[in-house]
Amino acid sequence: MNRQQPVFTYIVIFFLLAVILKLFGIISYNIGEIIGYVFIFYGLTLVYITMGMNKKLILFAGSSLFLAGIFLFTVNNFQLRDSSNLIFSAVILIPGISFLILFMDDFPRKSFLYLSAAFIIAGLLIAFISGSPSIISFFNSIFFVALKYWPVVIIIVGIILIIKRDG
């Protein structure tokens, strides 16, 4: 927990500073967006700190926070037809992806993979049934996001590999 303390302190400072700047009209982010950024940063930090350390609960919480932050970021920055339909499917998808992260941390535990698959399939089915995205628009969106952001993914993977190799 000692390694997490400075990060938590920086997050609190960031959050308070962002709220103060918003109150004075210097920035125009809403509170949900600021919380989304905090979740992304803290969740990513928890995942990085606990990956490979056999701290499953913290790893699960970190990946869930990160994904919740991504959800808040998406809802606050993109025009969605009805974001309320996405909430329930996101609540199902987030644990599914978090279980997938647990499986990637501990390959012999196939139960994490099975739980992940069940949650992800259920979340996608709920999203498609509720009509939030159609299957075609879903795969088109994934294709265009992958096409646009593939350099970012490569850079992040490269940084992680360099840090893991040097550390």
DSSP 33-83: HHHHHHHHHHHHHHHHHHTTTT-HHHHHHHHHHHHHHHHHHHHHHS--S-H
pLDDT grade for 37, boundaries at 50, 70 and 90: confident
The mean-pLDDT minimum among 90-94, 106-110, 150-154 falls in 150-154
Domain count, the chain: 2
H/E stretch holding 114 reads helix 110-130
Domain that holds residue 141: 134-167
The verdict on 72 and 151 lying in the same domain is no
Question: What is the chain's mean pLDDT, rounded?
Answer: 82
pLDDT at 1 over 50: no
pLDDT for 45-56, tens place per residue? 888 888 888 899
The mean pLDDT of 79-90, rounded to a whole number, is: 77
**CA proximity to 68, closest of 41, 48, 50, 49:** 41
Reported pTM: 0.73
The verdict on 109 and 163 lying in the same domain is no
The verdict on 100 and 159 lying in the same domain is no
pLDDT grade for 163, boundaries at 50, 70 and 90: low
Nearest-angstrom CA–CA distance, 68 and 7: 18
- What is the structure's pLDDT at 2? 55
Please give the structure tokens belonging to residue 50: 């606990």
pLDDT at 80 over 50: yes
The verdict on 32 and 61 lying in the same domain is yes
Q: Please classify residue 110 by burial: count the beta carbons closer than 10 Å to its beta carbon, then call 0-12 exposed, 13-18 middle and 19+ buried.
A: exposed
The verdict on 126 and 160 lying in the same domain is no
The verdict on 103 and 34 lying in the same domain is yes
